[in-house]
Amino acid sequence: MRDSLDARRKRLLYRSRYRGTLETDHLIGRFAADRLAGMDEGQLDRWEALLELPDPDLFDWATRRRPVPPEHDSDVMRALIAYNETKETE
């Protein structure tokens, strides 16, 4: 079980870093590199669902350019927003 969870995290990290839009790759990839290891299976499910969404939407939501639609507002999305906000001030 642990091996499959580690493999899933590695796959999700790769998908997070290589999305196609440089800005989103950086924003999403940083978060994934720092946080995937601590996510439980439910959070990984929610992260994986977010990765299915278009880059412009994720970027705009994570940077608060547009509000997150209720159907995508989750603990994981809120963590991404908070993470991005702390990285902006560093």
Take residue 69 and report the two structure tokens written for it: 């639609």
Q: Which domains does the chain have, with CATH numbers?
A: 2-88 (1.10.150.250)
Task: Write down the pLDDT at residue 1.
Answer: 55
Tell me the residue type at 58: L
Evaluate if residue 88 carries a pLDDT over 70.
no
Instruction: List pLDDT tens digits, range 29-78.
Output: 999 999 999 999 999 999 999 999 999 999 999 999 999 999 999 999 99
pLDDT given for residue 59 in this prediction = 94
Which range, of 10-14, 22-26, 68-72, averages the lowest pLDDT? 22-26
The one-letter amino acid at 30: R
User: What pLDDT band is residue 20 in, cutting at 50, 70 and 90?
Assistant: confident
Rounded CA separation 36/46 (Å): 11
